[in-house]
Structure 1
Amino acid sequence: MDTTHRNELALGTIWFGTRQDEDTAFALLDHYMARGGRWLDTSDNYAFWESPIGHGGASETVIGRWLRRNPGIREHISISTKVGANPTVPGTWDAPMEGLGPRAVEEAVASSMARLGVDVIDLLWAHIEDRAAPLEEQVEAFGSLVAEGRVRRLGASNHATWRVERARALARTRGLASYDAIQLRHSYLQAIPFVPLPSGHMAATAESLDYAAAEGLGMWAYTTLLSGAYARPERLPHAYRHPDTERRLAALDRVAQRLDATRSQVVLAWLIGGTPAVTPIVGVSDIAQLDEAMDALALQLDAEARATLDGRDAQ
């Protein structure tokens, strides 16, 4: 279980090697490390929809080159990657993904490790659910990776809470390591329930947050800044355009003004200091955006600020 959480955010690397060239990626990685960053978040399927070959792996490849360029840096950085969602037909969301069967997991992990140039993955995620592969086989496949020393920790991304709990129970009966972290779409603004989200995305709920807190699981969140919509409201997806958003943005502005912070910084501080404490995955385009995000780690929300944000104040 994740009992050593500290104020931190993971650098999202989804566009490395596709929308962001290697020089840009290296500059962001160097600066993230200089600011005390610890976690890089990637996946074996990033970003197949932007790739001329229609398969993922570009992000991991760029990170691997950066690691080789910086001997000794590996002991100061942790790698989070995911398997299960690379397409079996290049460039399409419609065909079956690689899935989480034992052979698929073994081949995906070996490929990720080769691209990254590492002999151990710090945190390996089951990227999406695979209900075609027996859960018992998935538990064995992932647990064996930890037992063999190729993976340190396991996480479930975009999984229903009941599936996570069932997998953890199966692992316990077999004496295997299992998921000690969950990763879901989560931010301060909330989407209308049941409105379709982008393919594969699963939003955090009150139940999943309570489950993570009660079980002591690491809670990671993606799309935390809604693709820049806090700074540029025109980017706000339709699913977030409802009356409660107006209330929340007004509260966010009151807190940001009082603390002399940006909306995005307050959102990150709200996530990091909440219950459960969240590790936000933040993707950035330039150094200025990275600095804005890293500065949020020092932002402390007092009881008054949290009451305002959570709608518990008198206003």
Structure 2
Amino acid sequence: MKYRTIGTDPATRREVSVLALGAMLFGSVTDEETSFAILDRYVEAGGNFVDTSDNYAFWVDGGQGGQSEELLGRWRRSRGIGDEIVFATKLGARPLAPGTSYTDNAEGLSAKVIRESAERSRERLGVEKLDLLYAHIDDHTVPQRETVEAFGALVAEGTVGLLGVSNQAIWRVERARALAAAAGLPGYEVLQYQHSHLRPRYDVPSELFPDGSLGHAGAELLGYLRAEPGLTLVAYSPLLKGAYTRQDRPLPPDYDHPGTAARLAVLRDVARETGASVNQVVLAWQSGGELPVVPLAGASSVAQLEENLAAVDLELTEDQRARLDAVH
């Protein structure tokens, strides 16, 4: 396994594996026995960066979520896991009532919600400290200063380590970080957005964000990473839910444009040259590039995880990277 540092403060920064494991469907679609086997193999391979959220997976049973965190808590206790594993979770997008959704009834980012939701996540995970806590979606009904101060208070109390943000407009992220800096408070240091080798259209609603593609890591976000070297991008859905390789998983509508064919062709060329799968090329391209990107890939079987893990040792040549980066 290879590792990179997330965070800049010596008191809270962590060394994490260059491949993060997504636990979104653990405890719901992926049963406990399989989830435990995947987690065990990931740790055996040197992985130490596990991602979840307090609302996973509310859409499976029409509830409010919490299944993933609860399963991870049971796995931690059964395996005697301590702080050697970095657990990242999120708040703000948990439905307030069963049968509703984050799109119309999210818990939001008020100071009260942040404190209470973080406490519930700590209880479900069975940890004294959340290593990394994200604002899952934006909340325009609450002043950003209130949100920034609420997250900062948890860090000051020692119940949260690093702070992250997901699925927000970059100008909102920068404003929140500026407010934190002006107040002498910790700010967001990890950004979690959808990012893969294929590039989406931004004039077509995405699957997760029908009112606009705020979930995608576009040119603005990648430029932000270049300008702010202390930030890290955790790239969710790097494999587009299997769409690179599975005939039964078509690409989402926002990838339906002429540039997609050219990028797919280069991916397949590099896969043939290396003897790797297209999925492995995507993960290696992300994790070994110039920008600090940690691909976040889920797995529903140990076999899927093994394929992802093999990407860690895949070394792309400068020429291959240049070709992968050049296509539009």
TM-score, normalised relative to structure 1: 0.95
**What pairs up with 1:299-314 in 2 under 5 angstroms?**
299-311=314-326
**What pairs up with 1:65-84 in 2 under 5 angstroms?**
65-71=74-80, 73-84=81-92
Distance 1:305 1:293 in 2: 19
Distance 1:81 1:176 in 2: 20
The residue aligned with 1:279 is 294
The residue aligned with 2:217 is 204
Alignment partner for residue 220 of structure 1, among 234, 241, 261? Answer: 234
Contact 1:28 1:286 (C-alpha < 8 Å) held by counterparts:
yes
| Cα drift, residue 7 of structure 1 | 5.8
**What pairs up with 1:140-289 in 2 under 5 angstroms?**
140-200=149-209, 202-216=215-229, 217-235=231-249, 236-289=251-304
The residue aligned with 2:55 is 45
Contact 1:182 1:220 (C-alpha < 8 Å) held by counterparts:
yes
Question: Which deviates more, 4-13 or 30-39?
Answer: 4-13
For residue 303 of structure 2, what is the amino acid of its counterpart?
A
| Cα drift, residue 204 of structure 1 | 0.6
RMSD across aligned positions (CA): 1.7
| Cα drift, residue 6 of structure 1 | 6.6
TM-score, normalised relative to structure 2: 0.91
Alignment partner for residue 123 of structure 1, among 121, 132, 156? Answer: 132
For residue 2 of structure 1, what is the amino acid of its counterpart?
G
The residue aligned with 1:57 is 66
Distance 1:182 1:247 in 2: 28
The residue aligned with 1:2 is 7
Distance 1:262 1:21 in 2: 27
For residue 44 of structure 1, what is the amino acid of its counterpart?
D
| Cα drift, residue 260 of structure 1 | 0.8
Distance 2:41 2:305 in 1: 8
Distance 2:203 2:129 in 1: 38
Contact 2:225 2:232 (C-alpha < 8 Å) held by counterparts:
yes
- Structure 2: runs of 5 or more not aligned: 1-5, 9-13
Task: Indicate the SS of the match to 2:261.
Answer: helix
Contact 2:196 2:237 (C-alpha < 8 Å) held by counterparts:
yes
| Cα drift, residue 233 of structure 1 | 4.4
Distance 1:5 1:244 in 2: 36
The residue aligned with 2:31 is 21
Task: Indicate the SS of the match to 2:83.
Answer: helix
Identity of aligned residues (%): 49
| Cα drift, residue 168 of structure 1 | 0.8
Task: Indicate the SS of the match to 1:91.
Answer: coil
Contact 1:28 1:287 (C-alpha < 8 Å) held by counterparts:
yes
Distance 2:17 2:36 in 1: 24
For residue 91 of structure 2, what is the amino acid of its counterpart?
V
Distance 1:140 1:6 in 2: 27
Tell me the number of residue pairs that the alignment of Structure 1 and Structure 2 aligns. Answer: 311
Task: Indicate the SS of the match to 2:319.
Answer: helix
Distance 1:241 1:233 in 2: 16
Distance 1:214 1:133 in 2: 28
Q: Does 1:137 align with 2:110?
A: no
Contact 2:70 2:124 (C-alpha < 8 Å) held by counterparts:
yes
Per-residue CA deviations over 1:129-154 (Å, capped at 9, x if unaligned) read 00101000000000111111011100
For residue 232 of structure 1, what is the amino acid of its counterpart?
R
Alignment partner for residue 94 of structure 2, among 76, 86, 106? Answer: 86
